[in-house]
Chains A and B, each alone.
Chain A
C-alpha cells in the first residue's frame, strides 16, 4: 500500500496564506489566555488542595457544597469526576495562607460530620481505615483465637486478612455494608462476624488527596520553567551544531514557539488545566515538532549537495515532497497511539493525550509551513537585499557543489 507516490506539490506557494492562518490560530489562543478565561493553573502551580472521593451512592453535589461552606477554608469547588456512574467527585480548595494546614483532613471531617449518622464510637470505618489499623483492631479482638498458638504469628495472620479485605474494597470500588467483606475468602466466619459487629461502611472512599503549599507551588513553577527553557535550548544547540546555519536554527525556534503557543492557547480555549503533566506533554510535542523539522532539514541538506543549481524554494519543496509520506505515516501512527491514550488512559492522561493530539497536528504542519517557509523567506529577503546593492549572480551555490562532488566520489 502506498499513499503518496512521488508527489510534487508546491507547498511553499501557499506560505503567506499559511502564515496568516498561523497568526489567526495564535491570536485565538492568546485571546483565550488573556481575555476570555485565562490559563487555568492546576494545584501543582497555583497551590491548593484537590481531593477525589468515590461515594457509595450518587452524591448530592449541592448538599456537599453546603457542608464545605460551613468550614473556613475559603473558596471550594465540587464537580463530578470522570464517569458519572462511578459516583466520583472532585473537590478543590483554594490555597491557604498558612503553610501546613491539613486541608484534606478538614474537608473529610466536614463531609463525614454532614453525611454520617452518629455511630458507635468503638466502631471503625471499613471504607477509610487502612490495613494497619484494621489488622491491629482484629488482632486485639482475636476472633480466631490464634494468640496462644505457637505456629501462628497473630500480627501476620490478621495482617493478611486485613490486606485481603482492603484489596477486595479496591476491587469492588467501595463497601456498601460490612457484609460486603464476606467476599474475603481468607477470612474465617469468626473474623467476618467480628467485622459485622465492629465496623461500619462509611459514605465514601478516599481515592486521592493532594495538597501543595505556597512554597512548593512556587518551587514547582520555577523548576518547570527551567526544564522547558533548558531542554529547548539544548535542542536548539544541537540543531545549530548539526546544520551549521542560522536560518535553519531560527526556523526551528520559530516553529517550536509557534507550536507551543497554539497548543497552550487551544488548551486554554478548551478550559483544560495546566499542570505538571501538561508541561511534560508540551515538552514532548516540542521534541516531536523538532523531530519533524529535523527530518525535513536533513533532506534539504542532502538535496543541496547535488551539483544541480536550483533555487532554494525548489529544493525545499522537493524535500518536503520526498519526506511527505514519512511525515504523514509517522504522524498517523503516533496519532493512533495518542488517540488510544485519549479514550482509554483515564482522567490524568486525558489532558496529556489532548495536548499531544493538538501538538502532532500543529507540529506536522509547522515543520512544513513554518520551519521550511522561514528558511525560504529569510534567504529571499537576503538575496533581494544583496541584489539591490550589487547586481551580480549569487555565488552562494559554488561552495556546496564542490563539497558535494567530494561526497559523491566517496560513495
Chain B
C-alpha cells in the first residue's frame, strides 16, 4: 500500500512539475517572439504570455470576406470573346451578347463559314459548350471549368491577402478559406482596422493604357467618336480633383501597354514638392513592352488606371523602360499601402466584407482585468465556503481546485488553445464543476461515517460510490461541449474548449489527487478516531 502511494504521489508531482515547466517554456517562447524592448523577456513576461489570447482579449480584427467569383468568371468570359474574335476575323461574325457571367452569344451572318467557326471553337475554346439556334451561337462555360476558375480565384485571393498581411507585418495572422467562396482573416494586435481593411480589399489591378481622348465629360467624349465607344477602347472615369464636383472621363485603349503583372517591385517615394507617390519597377519583359510602347508614342498621354479609375495621365516625354511613377494626392500611408499591394499582387476578384469584428486594445485590456478579477474573487469565495464547511477536508478540495487551475492553464498553453472571454467563463464554470466532484465525495464520506463505518472504510467507500456519479456528470457535460465545439462558432467554441479541458482535468484532480491526499494524511496511521470533514 505504502509503495503504491509513493508512486501516486510521484505521478502527481511529475504531472504538476511538467505542466508548470511546460507553461513557462511556452511562455518564454511566445514572449520572445513578441519582444520589442531591450534585453529579453523575464519570468513575469513569460507567465503573462503563456496562453494565447483571443482577439476579444488582446484586440485585433476578425473578418469574413466573400470572394466575388463572378468577377473571375466575367474575366474568363471576356477573354474567350476576345480570343474568338481575334481568331475568326475573316468569318464575319456579328454582334456579341453577354447574358450571364459565364455565357455569351455570337450572331453569325450569311457570310460565316460555320464549319470553320466550329473548328476554331474546338481549337481555342475547349472549356466551352456551344449550341446554335436561329443564327445565334450560344456559349456556356463547362461546369468543371467554372468550378476550377472559382476555386482558383478563391485560392489566389487567399494567397494575395496573405502576402499583403505579411508585408504589412502582423504577428500570427490567420488566413483561412471557409467553405466555397469565403475567407476568414484574423489579425491579432491590429489597432488600425480601417487601414488594414482597405489594404486587404484593394484589388490593386493596375493597367497602363494609351489615352485616346479626355479628360472631358462623358457626353463630349462619346460625341467625338460618333456617339459610341469604339470596339478597341473603353471609357474610364478619372480620379476627381479634391474640391471639384465635376466628374471627368478618359477614353483609353482596351489593350493595356503593361499591367500589374509586369511589375517587379514598387515603393513609396516623395516627389519634388514633398508630394507622396509610388514608383514601380518593371520586369525584363515588362520593360521591353513599355519601352517599345512609350518610344513609339512620345507626346501622347498615358493613363495610369488603378482599379478601373484613371489615377493620372502624364504626357510621355521620352522612351521609358524600367520604371514609372504613379502620382496622385496620396497621404504617406496611402502611398505606402499602394506600393505594398502592388508588390503583393492583384486580387483575382473583388471582395465583400460579410462579417467584421474589431476590438480595440483598451477594451481587450479592460476585459482581461475584469475576467481575471472575477475568476480570482469567485475562486476565493468557493475556497472559503469549502474550508468553512468541510474543515480539513476542505483544504484538500482547495488544493485539488488549485491544481485544476494550474493544469488547465498549462494544457491550454501546450495545445496552443486560445483563451477568449467566454473561455474565462468556461474556466469559472470548471471550478464550479470541480467543486461538485469534491462535494459529492465528501458528502458520501460523511454519509458512510453516519452509517457507522470506520473512517478508513468511509473514505474508501465514499470515493468508490461517488465515482460513478462523477463519471456521469462529467460525461454528460463533455458530450454536450464536444457538440458545441463541432457546431459552435466564435465565442461558443472558445467556451467549449476551456470547459472540455477543464473537466477532463477535474476528473484527475478531484478524484485521483484528492484520494491520494486523504491517504497521505490518514493512510499511514494504524488507527484513526475521526476525520475532519
Contacts and interface: CB of A to CB of B under 8 A. Distances in A.
Interface string B370-400: 1101110111011001101111000000000
Contacts of A343: 374
Contact of A227 (B421, B476, B487): B487
A333 B386 contact: yes
Contact of A130 (B195, B431, B432): B195
Nearest to A332: B385
Contact of A129 (B192, B375, B385, B432): B192
Interface residues of A, number: 96
Interface string B75-103: 00000000000000000000000000000
A340 interface: yes
B365 to A, nearest CB: 5
Contacts of B480: 231-232, 234-235, 283, 286-287, 290
Interface stretch (A133-141, A265-273, A392-400): A133-141
Interface stretch (A19-27, A28-36, A98-106, A309-317): A98-106
B455 interface: no
Contacts of B482: 231, 234
Contact of A329 (B336, B355, B360, B443): B443
Contacts, number: 266
Contact of A140 (B332, B435, B489): B332
Contacts of B479: 231, 234-235, 237-238
Interface in B459-500: 465, 468-469, 472-473, 475-477, 479-484, 486-492, 495-496, 499
B489 A208 contact: no
Interface string A291-314: 100110011001000000000000
How extensive is the interface on chain B, given as a class? 35 or more
Contact of B374 (A290, A333, A340): A340
B10 interface: no
B333 A133 contact: yes
B285 interface: no
11 contacts: A166-B191, A170-B360, A210-B358, A235-B477, A235-B480, A280-B484, A284-B499, A295-B440, A346-B370, A349-B370, A356-B429
Contact of B358 (A171, A209, A288, A298): A209
Contacts of B488: 223-224, 227, 280
Contact of B422 (A209, A210, A280, A338): A280
Interface string A334-364: 1011111101111011001100100000000
A334 B483 contact: no
B158 interface: no
Given A136-B332, A277-B425, 6 more contacts: A2-B446, A130-B192, A326-B436, A337-B382, A337-B429, A340-B381
A191 B469 CA distance: 65
B37 interface: yes
A208 B359 contact: yes
A223 B487 contact: yes
Nearest to B386: A333
Interface string B406-430: 0000000000000001101100110
Nearest to A243: B472
A226 interface: yes
A346 B371 contact: yes
Identify the 9 closest CB pairs spanning chains A and B, nearest first.
Answer: A130-B192, A334-B432, A100-B352, A340-B378, A337-B378, A231-B483, A231-B480, A346-B370, A170-B362
B191 A131 contact: yes
B353 A346 contact: no
A170 B365 contact: yes
A271 to B, nearest CB: 21
A99 B439 contact: no
B64 interface: yes
A1 interface: yes
Contacts of B314: none
B61 to A, nearest CB: 9
Nearest to A326: B443
Given A230-B483, A234-B482, A213 B353 contact: yes
A160 B39 CA distance: 14
A235 B336 contact: no
A238 B476 contact: yes
Nearest to A210: B357
B403 to A, nearest CB: 17
Interface in A216-233: 216, 219-220, 223-224, 226-227, 230-232
A344 B373 contact: yes
A404 interface: no
A142 B468 CA distance: 69
Contacts of A226: 487
Contact of A336 (B192, B336, B378, B468): B378
Given A105-B194, A170-B361, A336 B381 contact: yes
Contacts of A144: none
A322 interface: yes
Contacts of B169: 132
Pick from B385, B446, B479 the residue with the most CB of A within 10 Å. B479
A196 interface: no
B391 to A, nearest CB: 8
B447 interface: yes
Contacts of A173: 362
Contact of B355 (A156, A211, A239): A211
B378 A295 contact: no
B2 interface: no
A159 interface: yes
Interface of A: 1-2, 5-6, 52, 54, 99-100, 102, 104-105, 129-133, 136-137, 140, 156, 159-160, 163, 166-167, 169-171, 173, 205-213, 215-216, 219-220, 223-224, 226-227, 230-232, 234-235, 237-239, 242, 276-277, 279-281, 283-284, 286-288, 290-291, 294-295, 298-299, 302, 322-323, 325-326, 329-330, 332-334, 336-341, 343-346, 348-349, 352-353, 356
A216 B487 CA distance: 14
B473 to A, nearest CB: 4
A159 B492 contact: no
A208 B358 contact: yes
Q: Pick the most buried of A133, A322, A333: most chain B CB atoms within 10 A of its CB.
A: A333
B382 A336 contact: yes
A36 B140 CA distance: 54
A227 B435 CA distance: 27
Contact of B473 (A102, A294, A348): A294
Nearest to A335: B432
A331 to B, nearest CB: 9
B328 interface: no
Contacts of B435: 330, 333-334
Contacts of A302: 465
B370 A210 contact: no
Pick from B336, B354, B389, B431 the residue with the most CB of A within 10 Å: B354
Nearest to A160: B36
Given A170-B362, A294-B472, A336 B353 contact: no
B190 interface: yes
Contact of B352 (A5, A99, A227): A99
B197 interface: yes
Given A209-B193, A291-B477, A345-B374, A132 B168 contact: yes
A132 B340 CA distance: 14
Nearest to B431: A337
Contacts of B492: 224, 227, 276, 279-280, 283
A106 B174 CA distance: 27
Contacts of B352: 99-100
Contacts of A235: 476-477, 479-480
A337 B381 CA distance: 7
A401 B483 CA distance: 38
Given A105-B194, A231-B481, A341-B374, A330 B358 contact: no
